[in-house]
Amino acid sequence: MNVLVLTEHAAVENPTVEEQVQRPHRRKEMSEHLRKQVYQALLAKSNNEKLGKNDTAAVAEQFGLNIRSVQRVWRRGKIQLANSVPVVVSSLKKGRVGRKHIPVDALASSFVSSKPL
> How confident is the model over 32-50, as pLDDT tens digits?
899 999 999 999 999 988 9
Considering the domain boundaries, does residue 108 fall inside one?
no
Based on the structure, what is the number of domains in the chain?
1
Considering the domain boundaries, does residue 39 fall inside one?
yes
pTM above 0.85, yes or no: no
Considering the domain boundaries, does residue 92 fall inside one?
no
Considering the domain boundaries, does residue 98 fall inside one?
no
Considering the domain boundaries, does residue 95 fall inside one?
no
Residue 47 structural domain: 35-86
Within 13 Å and on the Cβ side, how many CA atoms surround 24? 7
- Angstrom distance (rounded) from CA 74 to CA 69: 9
Considering the domain boundaries, does residue 45 fall inside one?
yes
Considering the domain boundaries, does residue 7 fall inside one?
no
Side chain identity, residue 116: P
DSSP 28: S
Radius of gyration of the chain (CA): 26
Percent of the chain with pLDDT over 70: 66
* 87, 73 contact by CB (below 8 A): no
Considering the domain boundaries, does residue 10 fall inside one?
no
